Structure formats: C-alpha cells, structure tokens
Amino acid sequence: MADYQTAAHIRSGGMPGFFYVLFRIILSLRICTGPPVPVITVKGGLILMETLDGYGIQNSILFETGHGFILAQAKDRDKGFMVWQFTETPFGRDFYHGRSFVLTDEAERDYRRRADNYRCLCKAGQRPRQNPARYYRYYSTQRPVDIGAYPKPDGNAPVVIVNYDEDRRRPVAGGNLHAWGELTYRKPLAKELAEAYELAASPDRPNRKTG
C-alpha cells in the first residue's frame, strides 16, 4: 500500500479494519519519526538551493502534482540511507513518510517502488522544466483526511490525498500552516466550500502580491 491515498481508496474505506491496523503497526516499525532538517539558501526572497542537513541526496523525482520522492545517504555512513516523500511548496519542500535502510539495494528498491506506485495510481507524469500543469493544494488543519471529511465537487475530485500519519499537526509550507494532511485538486475550490471543510489553501510565496 502506498503512503498516499487516492480519493477512490478513501471512499472505499481502504483495507479492512483489522488488516489495516496490523499493516500500520508493521509499517511504523520502518518509518523514521523525524523529517530531515532542510537547509535553504535564499537570496532576494528567492530559494536558490536546498539541501538536507546530515544527508547527501542520491536521487530524486518530482511529479507534475508537486509531490516527489528522494533517496539520500547519511553523511555518517553508519546511519545508512533514507527514502522520503515530499511536497514542493513556494517555501521549499515538506518531507514526510521517511523510511530508513541499511543497504543501498533496499533503499533504491523502495525509492523506485514508491515512485512507480505514485506514477501508476495517480496517473501523474514528471514535472516538466517549463510550463508545468497547475494544481491546487489545500491543507486539512483540524483533522486527518477521512471519508466524508473533504469536498468532492462535480468534475473536480481530488487527484491525490496525503495524510502525514503523525499523532499531531505538523508545520507545512515553510511553517505558515500546521496540518494533518493535504489534498491536491486540478481546479481551485470555492472559498466557502474549503472553509466548510476547514481546509486552508496553500499560501503564496512571501514576496508575491495577492489580490
């Protein structure tokens, strides 16, 4: 099972209750509790470079939806490798669903599997360098995303739903919001509809004018 959920998966209820709980217990044994600390180089309000504190990036992929995966090796070789999922935001990347590995082959296999699953289930291609498709992200600030807890307008069902699977809200979008999870749509939601479900739109870049 992937670390993200499609809208169809949530509507169907996913795995049966007992097996889902058992699966989450097993998975939790492999998940790293803390995300990496991003080190961001900024000049004139623009992000020039982002690295991971304590890790060297080995491989990464970014999809048109703004989600991606990264494979990194600890600078302290004894700590092995990590594979994270991330969300690209105007303020940098939010990392979550980290998994640790001792062996290179295991880490590379997990990285490829998760990227392939995302590509297949979400029908998403890699983000092009020029003229990427526009998507709209909303954060669930009061609760994890669950059945009946998110809007599904006609012709604009969410493309991807991500729950961060933590026991509390976590800072996202450069610390501008705290959320349990996020939803990605192809079209913007009406302001009243988003507010009815207590969803917060992804904030703009700090130096970008809004009106």
pLDDT, tens digit (0-9, with 9 covering 90-100), for 186-210: 999 999 999 999 999 999 765 544 3
Structure token pair of residue 161 = 């739903």
For 17, the 3-state DSSP assignment is helix
Residues 138-174: b if buried by 16+ CB within 10 A, e if exposed:
bbbbeeebeeeebbeeeebbbbbbbbbeeeebeebbb
Structure token pair of residue 167 = 């026991």
For 22, the 3-state DSSP assignment is helix
For 81, the 3-state DSSP assignment is strand
Give the model confidence (pLDDT) of 37-55 as tens digits. Answer: 544 444 444 443 355 778 8
For 70, the 3-state DSSP assignment is strand
Domain parsing of the chain, residue ranges: 7-122, 136-201
Q: For residue 55, what pLDDT is reported?
A: 86
Identify which has the larger pLDDT, 136 or 168. Answer: 136
Q: For residue 116, what pLDDT is reported?
A: 95
Name the one residue in this structure whose structure tokens are 């670390």: 3
Q: Which residues contact 151 (CB under 8 A, 6 or more apart)?
A: 189, 193, 194, 196, 197, 199
Residues 79-110: b if buried by 16+ CB within 10 A, e if exposed:
eebbbbbbbbbebbbbbbbbbebeeeeebbeb
> What's the per-residue H, E or C state across 99-152?
EEECCHHHHHHHHHHHHHHHHHHHCCCECCCCCCCCCEEEEECCCCCCCCCCCC
Please say whether the beta carbons of 172 and 89 come within 8 A. Answer: yes
pLDDT at position 138 over 70: yes
Q: Which residues contact 155 (CB under 8 A, 6 or more apart)?
A: 187
Once rounded to an integer, what is the mean pLDDT over residues 149-157? 94
**pTM for this prediction:** 0.73
